[in-house]
């Protein structure tokens, strides 16, 4: 269910809609019965329970956040309790240290290295069991992915994969270097919703792999004009 900004309240999760995998995240949240909105300007952040900063291109996202004056508003709402989830490029933006670069929204004590696997041609898929998130193994999609090379005090590692950290969290911030929104798994979106204090429609024992999902499911948002 994609909610209008006027209807947004503390039961709503926003998806930053400047660049990147926006519709894919909205699609997963809708499948969980979570109200969601596109966040295009600072006023859209009011009264959200959480914000997803999607994968895309971190330098482009950083510039757009500055241009549209959203960066400072995110920091303000974060101090008021807004939960954040950064996927891939979003994780880079939220990192406390980025190898060889300046930080942008350093809200979680991790060190991250961008494009750690190489070019777009070095993207890959994998699978892993992440017990805090789901009881069954879940698919993982890595696209020009970064690596988390270190976590600081107060940050829990959710997934170590092939010798590096692929997912971590603090009480208020979740980061994943892969793209859960590009798989049929709803587990991470459910996990973030719970972190935001929301209750997804799916019960704990409900299978979190949606058999109705396919790689073009998100395109219905374009057809419906969202």
What confidence tens digit (pLDDT) does each residue in 17-58 have?
999 889 999 999 999 999 999 999 999 999 899 999 998 888
Cβ proximity of 165 and 112 under 8 Å: no
105 phi and psi angles, rounded to 5 deg? -125, 75
**Burial classification of residue 223, based on how many CB atoms lie within 10 Å of its CB (0-12 exposed, 13-18 middle, 19 or more buried):** exposed
3 phi and psi angles, rounded to 5 deg? -95, 145
Residue 165 token pair:
């950290």
Check which CATH number belongs to the domain holding 187 and give it: 3.40.50.880
User: Residue 226: which pLDDT band, with cuts at 50, 70 and 90?
Assistant: very low
Range of the domain at 25: 5-223
Name the residue with higher pLDDT: 156 or 162.
156
Name the residue with higher pLDDT: 10 or 188.
188
| Res 121: pLDDT | 43
* End-to-end C-alpha distance for the chain, whole angstroms: 11
Q: How many domains does the chain have?
A: 1
DSSP letter assigned to residue 153: T
Residues catalogued as catalytic:
88, 179, 181
């Amino acid at each position: 269910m994609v909610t209008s900004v006027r209807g947004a309240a503390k039961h709503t999760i926003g998806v930053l809609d400047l660049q990147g995998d926006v519709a894919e995240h909205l699609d997963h949240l809708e499948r969980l019965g979570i109200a969601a909105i596109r966040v295009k300007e600072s006023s859209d952040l009011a009264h959200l329970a959480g914000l997803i900063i999607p994968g895309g291109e971190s330098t482009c996202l950083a510039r757009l956040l500055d241009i549209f004056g959203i960066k400072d508003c995110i920091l303000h709402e974060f101090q008021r309790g807004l939960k954040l989830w950064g996927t891939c490029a979003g994780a880079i933006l939220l990192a406390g240290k980025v190898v060889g670069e300046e930080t942008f929204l350093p809200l979680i004590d991790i060190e991250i290295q961008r494009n750690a696997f190489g070019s777009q041609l070095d993207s890959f898929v994998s699978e892993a069991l992440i017990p805090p998130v789901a009881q069954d193994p879940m698919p993982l999609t890595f696209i020009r992915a970064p690596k988390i090379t270190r976590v600081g005090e107060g940050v829990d590692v959710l997934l170590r994969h092939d010798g590096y950290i692929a997912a971590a969290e603090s009480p208020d911030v979740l980061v994943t270097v892969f793209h859960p929104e590009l798989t049929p798994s709803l587990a991470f979106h459910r996990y973030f919703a719970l972190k935001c204090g929301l209750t997804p429609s799916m019960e704990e024992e409900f299978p979190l792999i949606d058999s109705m999902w396919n790689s073009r499911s998100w395109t219905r948002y374009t057809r419906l004009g969202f």
